[in-house]
Structure 1
Amino acid sequence: MKIVGVSGSLAGSKTMQTVHEVLAAAKNINPAIETELIDLQEYDVEFMRGTPLSYYNDDTQTVVNKILQADSLVIGTPIYQASISGTLKNLFDLMPIRAFKSKVVGCITNGGSSKHLLVTQYQLKPILHYLEAIVVAKDVFVHNDLFDVETAEILDKDILRRINKLAEEMLYLQGKLGG
């Protein structure tokens, strides 16, 4: 089984750190699984133009294909203006219909206001459902105050416990699907 984590941010390291924590928790639960982190800061993903994937640059094709080949996904996004990042939305726009069919997807978000914790429910999960993902019921929101300012490590033990639970549920569901 391969779990691919996507950090849907082009700035900072908090989102990447949250996705990394979920992947590390999954690997700790089952060392046999393969994990990969896609940090969108490291790729030049083109803006969606409505053309076939083969018309886009190598980075765009690489990122889309890595996601399509994954058994399971962890999607991480910062919350900007009470919404998911434009970078992540653009990536979803590049996906074919049914891109996430039979893929278990866990969601982890971070933001500067606790008012943003429902963005996952009202914006991210509907997109994932449209792409036919099997979305883990529980998601994790990490307030920006819970990160170490210098290292971006998550300081709150309850958040780390919830991240571990998210990883457990992802592996359980994917296991039930035979992945």
Structure 2
Amino acid sequence: MKIVAISGSIVGSKTRTAMDYTLSAAREKYADADIVLLDLAEYNLVFSDGRNYREYVGDTKFVTETIMNADAIIIGTPTFQASIPATLKNIFDLLPVNALRDKVVSILVTAGTAKHYLMAELQLKPILAYMKAHIVPAYVFIEEKDFNRKEIVNDDVLFRIGRLVEDTVMLVDAFANVRQLKEAEYDF
């Protein structure tokens, strides 16, 4: 199983910190999984201009192809102006509309206050649904108060991160079994 984690911003540290905890939980529980982190701050991505994702080169091609080859995607995003950051939106714009078909996508959101807890429901989930993702229903929302010196200090958040990882892997396995049963119905 290939899991791609996306840290969806080029500024700040909280989303990356949360993604590091998530990756640690995933690697601990699923050591046989191929787990990759795409921290968008580490890549030089061009803005989408409508081309097919295969026509891009360099980091842009690498990031889009890595996402397209994933079985599961864990998206970590901060909340900027009650929405997702432009760097993350650009990733969606670079990909074809069916890019997330048959992929399980889970969400981890960081925000300054609880006032932005619906951002994932109103901004991110509609994009993922449009791109045909199987969305893990429960997402992890982490507030400013849950961090201290680049560490998560809320045990409930750590529990929810572990559960998010488990739910993501279980859904990948469940959908793989469903696809296998559907394919077995055909005689050719």
Q: TM-score range by the shorter chain?
A: over 0.9
The answer to whether the Cα contact below 8 Å between 2:45 and 2:60 also exists between their aligned partners in 1 is yes
User: Following the alignment from structure 2 to structure 1, what is the Cα–Cα distance between the partners of residues 144 and 57?
Assistant: 34
The TM-score normalised by the length of structure 1 is 0.94
User: Following the alignment from structure 2 to structure 1, what is the Cα–Cα distance between the partners of residues 105 and 22?
Assistant: 12
Following TM superposition, the consecutive aligned residue runs of length 4 or more in structure 1 with deviations greater than 3 angstroms are none
User: Following the alignment from structure 2 to structure 1, what is the Cα–Cα distance between the partners of residues 20 and 99?
Assistant: 23
1:156 aligned partner, one-letter code: N
Partner of 2:35: 35
Partner of 2:51: 51
The answer to whether the Cα contact below 8 Å between 1:26 and 1:171 also exists between their aligned partners in 2 is no
User: Following the alignment from structure 1 to structure 2, what is the Cα–Cα distance between the partners of residues 167 and 55?
Assistant: 33
User: Following the alignment from structure 2 to structure 1, what is the Cα–Cα distance between the partners of residues 105 and 52?
Assistant: 25
Partner of 2:164: 166
User: Following the alignment from structure 2 to structure 1, what is the Cα–Cα distance between the partners of residues 130 and 141?
Assistant: 22
Cα deviation 1:131-155 (Å, max 9, x = unaligned):
1100001001110221123xx1211
Larger radius of gyration: 2
The answer to whether the Cα contact below 8 Å between 2:106 and 2:168 also exists between their aligned partners in 1 is yes
Percent identity between the two aligned chains:
41
Unaligned runs of 5+ in 1: none
- Structure 1 segment 11-90 matched on structure 2, within 5 A: 11-90=11-90
State the secondary structure of the residue aligned to 2:117. helix
Cα deviation 1:47-95 (Å, max 9, x = unaligned):
1111233443311000000000011000011001100111100110111
The answer to whether the Cα contact below 8 Å between 1:46 and 1:57 also exists between their aligned partners in 2 is no
The answer to whether the Cα contact below 8 Å between 2:53 and 2:96 also exists between their aligned partners in 1 is no
2:173 aligned partner, one-letter code: G
Change in Cα spacing, 1:33 to 1:52, as seen in structure 2 (3 Å) is: same
Shift of 1:27: 2.0
Cα deviation 1:19-54 (Å, max 9, x = unaligned):
222222122222111111000000011111112334
User: Following the alignment from structure 2 to structure 1, what is the Cα–Cα distance between the partners of residues 30 and 57?
Assistant: 35
Q: Kindly report the root-mean-square deviation, in angstroms, between the aligned alpha carbons of the 2 structures.
A: 1.3
Partner of 2:174: 176
User: Following the alignment from structure 2 to structure 1, what is the Cα–Cα distance between the partners of residues 125 and 174?
Assistant: 21
The answer to whether the Cα contact below 8 Å between 1:4 and 1:72 also exists between their aligned partners in 2 is yes
Unaligned runs of 5+ in 2: 178-188
State the secondary structure of the residue aligned to 1:47. coil
Paired residues, number: 177
The answer to whether the Cα contact below 8 Å between 2:48 and 2:94 also exists between their aligned partners in 1 is yes
| The 10-residue stretch of structure 1 (166-175 or 46-55) with the greater mean CA deviation from structure 2 | 46-55
Shift of 1:14: 1.1
User: Following the alignment from structure 1 to structure 2, what is the Cα–Cα distance between the partners of residues 51 and 34?
Assistant: 29
